[in-house]
Chains A and B, each alone.
Chain A
Amino acid sequence: MPVALLLACFNDTLFPQVGRTTVELLERLGCQVSFPAEQTCCGQMHGNSGFRDEALALAARLLWVFRDEQAIVCPSASCVGWMRELAPALAREAGDAELAGQLDQLAARTFELTEFLCDELAVEDVGATFPHRVAYHPTCHSQRGLKLGDRPRRLLGAVRGLELLEIPSEDCCGFGGTFAVKNADVSTAMLEDKLRDIEATGAEVCAAVDSSCLMQISGGLRRQRSGMRTLHVAEILAARP
C-alpha cells in the first residue's frame, strides 16, 4: 500500500529518529512510503496561538503538498487532531467554507500512526522486540482529541519482552505548545506531578505518540537527572532484537 508520510516539523528538525523508525516500521509492514519534501508545518502552533491567517495559510499549503496522496500517515497525534478539528473550524470561522471543506477531505485521508496500524493495516503484532518496562503516557490530543483508546496499548502489548505499565493519572503533562513558556510556572507544576507519577511506575521508558509532550517530559527527566528515558511509540514498534 502506498502511504505518504506527514512527519510534523519538529519531528523532522529535532526528532528525526521518529521519522526514520516510522518509515522502517511501515516498510516492514509492506507499505511503500513516500515523503513529499515540500511539507513544512501544519499550522497548529500558529492556530493555537491566535494567529489564524498564518495558520490557515500553512494548512492550505498541506492541501497542495498532499493533493495526490490517498493515504497519509502522521506520527504526531496533536497535528492530526489540529487538521481534523481545529483547522477546519478556524477556516469556517474565517468565512472560508471552501477551504474548510478541503481540509475536511484532507483530514479524512490522514491517519495518526497507531490508527493506521490498527484500523487500516489491521495489525497489532508488528514483529517488534523490546525487552523493557514501558510506561505509556496517553497524551491529551491522542486520548481526548483523536480518541485513540487502547490502540497504542494494544500495539505495545504485542511487543515481545515489553512490560506495559500504567501511569495512575491521565492529567496533561503541562506542555500545551506555547503554554509551556507563556505559563511556565503552571506548566512546571503540572510536569512535576506527571514525573512523580511516571517514576512511581518503576518504568525504564516513558512512551507516547506525541514528540512534543515527550520533549516536555524528557526535558524534566533530564533536569532531574533521572535514569528514565522517553521514546516515541514508533521507535519501540520498529525495534528488533
Chain B
Amino acid sequence: MSFPSNAAIALDDEQLRRNLHKATTTIRAKRAGAVAELPDWDELREAGAAIKAGALATLPEQLERLEAAVTARGGTVHWARDAAEANATVAEIAERHGADELIKVKSITTDEIELNDALGQRGITAHETDLAELVNQLAGDWSSHILVPAIHRNRDEIRSLFERTIASGQRLDDDPSALTATARAHLRELFLRVPFAVSGANFAVAETGTTMVVESEGNGRMCTTLPQVLVTVMGIEKVLPSWRDLEVFLQLLPRSSTGERMNPYTSLWSGVRAGDGPQEFHLVLLDNGRTNVLADEVGREALHCIRCSACLNVCPVYSRVGGHAYDSVYPGPIGAILTPQLHGLDAAPTLPWASSLCGACLEVCPVQIDIPKLLVHLRGRVTREVRGGRRAERTGMKLIAWAFATRRRYEMAQRLRRLGRGPLANAAAAPWARSRELPEPPAQTFREWWRERRED
C-alpha cells in the first residue's frame, strides 16, 4: 500500500484523529516549555549533531573500541549483518539457556527486525514490559509512535482491552492510574519469574563498553537488573566515543521526547559484575542496512537520529494520520527518510513525498537533521533509481521543463492558463478540486501588463 492510500484510511477514523490531535498537542506544548528553559539549547543541538557526525565518521574504530571494552568487562559481542542473523543470535542464546520465554524492554530496533515473531517461531514467548508496548502486544496491534507506541489508543479502549486479557473477569475503571496498576500487577509477576531479558540501547559508550537505556516506567531497570541473562540488540549507529558525550544527549533526549528535564530512569551497565545484576551479557551489533545509509553522503545524516520523536509530534502530516500510515516501525518525518534508506527505495517509494516540506521537523530535531533536505534528496533518488510508475508525472515534468527553458515557449504556455477554469478543468484537476476551487485565471499576465506599461 502507498502512503496516500494508507493515509486516506487513517483520516476516515474520527476516533484516531481525536486521539492523535489530543496527544500530539499535549506533547508539543510540553516539549516547547522544557526546551525554552535552556538558554544554550541551540548550542546543545549543534554539539549533538557534531558528536554524531564524528562518531559516524569513525564508526569502524568506535565499534571495535566498544567490542574490546565490552569483552574486557566480561560481556560477549555478536555482529549481525541483517535481521535474520540478529534474530538467530538471540534465539540461540535463549535456547542455550533453555528459556522458552523472555521479558523485553521497549526497543524499536527489535521491532525493526521483528524479533518477537522470529522467537515465536522457535517456541520462545517474548513479553513486552513497557505499558504501551504491552497494550499493543495484547491487542495484536503494532506501534504507531516511536515514544508513545499506543498513541492511537485512548483510555477507554485500553480498559476494555485489559478486561479481555490480563484482567479477564474483572471490571476496571478507566482512570489511568487504575489501568497502570492492573498492568503493574501483571508485569511484576513476569519480572520475578522470567530470568532472561532482551533490551535495545539508546547509546553505548565505546571507551568503557557501557550500554544505556533511558525510560520512564522502571520496567527497563527491572529487565536490566533482575534477570540472570541480558541480551542487548543495538543498531551500530548508536555508539558514542566517550562518556562525556552523554552529557549532551542526556539533556537533548528527555526534553525533546517527553518534555521532561530528565527521564525518570537511566540504566547503564558495563559488562557483568559478580553477584550484581545479570551474570551473562550479550551485545548484538546490528547493521541491517545501516552501512548502506552511511554510504550516501547526504542521506547518512538520518543515522544521527536519537529516536526522540519530537519530529512526529510537530509534523502536521503525522499528527493527522498517525504512525500506521507509514507502514514501518519508524513513522513520521524521520521514518520517511529512514525507512526507504534502510529497507530500499523500492520498498517505500511514496514515503519521501509524505511531507509538505514545512520544516517543522528540522526546527525541533535535537541533532539538527535537515529532514526536508533529505526528503528532497530521496525524492530525487527514487525518481532516478526506481524504474516504472509515475508515468504521467514524469511526462508532465519533462514537458514543463522543456516549455520553461525558453521565453518563447514559456509565454506560449502561459496562454494555456485559460484552460484552467470550468468543469473540464475541475475534472482534470480532480485531486485538487475535491476540496478546493481552482484559481480564476487572469485576463492579463504580469508580463503583458508590464509590456503595455512600457509602451505607454
Contacts and interface: CB of A to CB of B under 8 A. Distances in A.
A144 B362 contact: yes
A23 B452 CA distance: 14
Contact of A85 (B373, B397, B435): B373
Given A57-B401, A86-B376, A184-B431, A223 B358 contact: no
Interface string A66-102: 0000000000000000000110011001000000000
Given A140-B358, A174-B316, A219-B438, A58 B404 contact: yes
Given A58-B404, A189-B320, A216-B436, A49 B397 contact: yes
Interface string B332-364: 000000000000000000001111111110110
B444 interface: yes
B432 A183 contact: no
Interface residue range, chain A:
35 or more
A181 B298 contact: no
Interface residues of B, number: 63
Contacts of A13: 414, 417, 445-446
Nearest to B353: A182
Q: Which of B320, B355, B356, B417 has the most CB of A within 10 A?
A: B356
Contacts of A90: 376-377, 380
Given A85-B373, A223-B436, A185 B8 contact: yes
B7 A183 contact: yes
B373 A41 contact: no
Contacts of A179: 353, 355-357
A46 B4 contact: no
B401 A46 contact: yes
A121 B363 CA distance: 29
A38 B407 contact: yes
A37 B381 CA distance: 34
B379 A49 contact: yes
Contacts, number: 195
B358 A176 contact: yes
Contacts of B171: none
Q: Is the interface of A mostly helix, strand, loop or mixed?
A: helix
Contact of B439 (A14, A37, A184, A189): A14
Contacts of A201: none
A12 B446 CA distance: 5
Q: Which of B3, B4, B321, B362 has the most CB of A within 10 A?
A: B4
A129 interface: no
A184 B356 contact: no
A183 B438 contact: no
Contacts of B88: none
B437 interface: yes
Given A37-B407, A51-B398, A180-B431, 18 more contacts: A15-B439, A16-B448, A19-B446, A40-B406, A50-B383, A51-B380, A90-B377, A140-B357, A140-B358, A171-B360, A172-B316, A174-B356, A181-B431, A182-B353, A183-B4, A191-B436, A219-B432, A219-B437
Interface of A: 7, 9, 11-20, 23, 35, 37-38, 40-41, 45-52, 54, 57-58, 61, 85-86, 89-90, 93, 140-141, 144-145, 171-172, 174-193, 215-216, 218-220, 222-223
10 contacts: A13-B445, A14-B442, A40-B406, A46-B401, A172-B360, A174-B316, A176-B358, A177-B356, A186-B354, A191-B436
